[in-house]
Amino acid sequence: MVDLTLDEDKTEKIKCMNCNTEIIKYYHEEYKGYRGKCLICKIDFPLD
Ligand SMILES: [Zn+2]
């Protein structure tokens, strides 16, 4: 299966470097920037 029509969905799929699970991206108000969080490992890291 080949999927070449990914242009509409440009949301970055970032994977956890630890468990390779797709992380969630959220805006951290105190940090004033985007951060990623892995729900499996519970790790949290900056994305900027
Ligand atoms: Zn993880």
pLDDT score, position 48? 74
Has residue 17 got a pLDDT over 60?
Answer: yes
CA of 13 to the centre of ligand 1 (A): 13
Is the separation of the CB atoms in 34 and 48 below 8 Å? yes
- pTM for the complete prediction? 0.62
CA of 16 to the centre of ligand 1 (A): 5
Q: Which residues contact 44 (CB under 8 A, 6 or more apart)?
A: 35, 36, 37, 38
CA of 8 to the centre of ligand 1 (A): 27
Percent of the chain residues topping a pLDDT of 70: 75
pLDDT score, position 10? 59
Has residue 35 got a pLDDT over 90?
Answer: yes
CA of 36 to the centre of ligand 1 (A): 10
Domain ranges in the chain? 15-48
